[in-house]
């Protein structure tokens, strides 16, 4: 899957690139509007992430030019806070979806998956770890015959730990991925969600534990019960 990022904020472009590469996407980045349009018109991308305010040519003009040239690559536009008009304008110009900054990596990936999903593609609906099954559609976590519903943030934190099950994730990484790259979520916030999750694991009588290592990060551990 090939993704083009057109974003002049270098730091954000790098974050996007990192998130997408971790998911095994092949990523190109352009840092101004003219390069962005030239790359987009090659027609070699499965999806394009397009910022609105860009030096050279803005995001709206890029989509309009693409559609005029009969280029139908799906476009996800990035809008800044409060730019609701941008969103409407973007969709009018031929963008397929929009996303407001700041966003979490899960939201970004979900939108990209939705834009690139082909008809008939089978979507993974559950994730398993130890004796746990996590449903991706309704965020239900179950262990044998017991189940609980996770809140969105609990779900995102747990999913991240399951995906990276053999690693220790630092608090910073978890906060960046779940709350967004410029979020003001504090360590305390994360600790609260970890404690909610631990309570739910206890309730489920699961053998899965969230381990804290040297007070820097978290990882999952599984010990088979009885």
| Site of interaction with Ca ion (CB under 5 A) | 8, 51, 53
Which residue in the block uniquely carries the two structure tokens 């730091």? 11
Nearer to Ca ion, 51 or 86 (CB): 51
- Pairing outcome for strands 75-79 and 97-100: parallel
Contact 77, 94 (CB under 8 A): no
CB of 37 to Ca ion, least distance (A): 15
Which residue lies nearest Ca ion, judged by its C-beta?
53
Q: Which is nearer to Ca ion, 8 or 35 (CB)?
A: 8
- Identity of the residue, 53 or 163, whose beta carbon is nearer to Ca ion in the bound complex: 53
Is residue 72 left, alpha or beta, with left meaning phi > 0 and alpha meaning psi from -120 to 50? Answer: alpha
Here the tokens at position 45 are 């991308």
Tokens at residue 19, please? 């998130």
Sign of the CA dihedral running 43, 123, 19, 177: positive
Kindly state the smallest distance separating residue 68's Cβ from Ca ion, in Å: 23
Per-residue HEC secondary structure of 131-152 comes to CEEEECCCCEEEECCEEEECCH
How many residues in total does the chain contain? 226
Closest CB 80 distance from Ca ion, rounded Å:
8
Task: Tell me which residue has tokens 């007070």.
Answer: 215
Minimum CB distance to Ca ion, residue 108 (Å)? 16
Write down the least CB distance from residue 182 to Ca ion, Å: 14
Could you tell me the two tokens for 42? 């090659």
Around 33, how many Cα atoms within 13 Å sit in the side-chain half-sphere? 16
Side-chain half-sphere of 226: how many Cα atoms within 13 Å? 2
Smallest separation (angstroms) from Ca ion to the CB of 12: 8
Comparison of 7 and 156: residue with beta carbon closer to Ca ion: 7
Nearer to Ca ion, 11 or 198 (CB): 11
């Amino acid at each position: 899957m090939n993704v083009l990022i057109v974003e002049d904020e270098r730091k954000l472009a790098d974050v996007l690139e990192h998130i997408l590469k971790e998911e095994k996407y092949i990523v190109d980045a352009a840092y101004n509007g003219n390069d962005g349009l030239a790359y987009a018109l090659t027609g070699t991308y499965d999806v394009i992430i397009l910022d609105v305010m860009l030096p050279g040519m803005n995001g709206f003009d890029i989509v309009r030019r693409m559609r005029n040239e009969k280029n139908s690559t799906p476009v996800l536009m990035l809008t800044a806070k409060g730019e609701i008009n941008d969103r409407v304008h973007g969709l009018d110009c031929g963008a397929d979806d929009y996303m407001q900054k700041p966003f979490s990596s899960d939201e970004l990936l979900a939108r990209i998956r939705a834009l690139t999903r082909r008809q008939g593609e089978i979507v993974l609906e559950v994730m398993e770890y130890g004796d746990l099954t996590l449903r991706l559609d309704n965020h239900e976590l179950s262990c044998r015959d017991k189940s609980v519903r996770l809140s969105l943030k609990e779900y995102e934190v747990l999913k991240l730990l399951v995906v990276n099950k053999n690693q220790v994730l630092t608090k910073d990484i978890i906060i960046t991925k779940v709350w967004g790259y410029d979020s003001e979520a504090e360590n305390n916030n994360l600790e609260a969600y970890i404690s909610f999750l631990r309570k739910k694991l206890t309730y489920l009588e699961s053998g899965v534990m969230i381990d804290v290592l040297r007070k820097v990060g978290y990882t999952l551990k599984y010990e088979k019960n009885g």
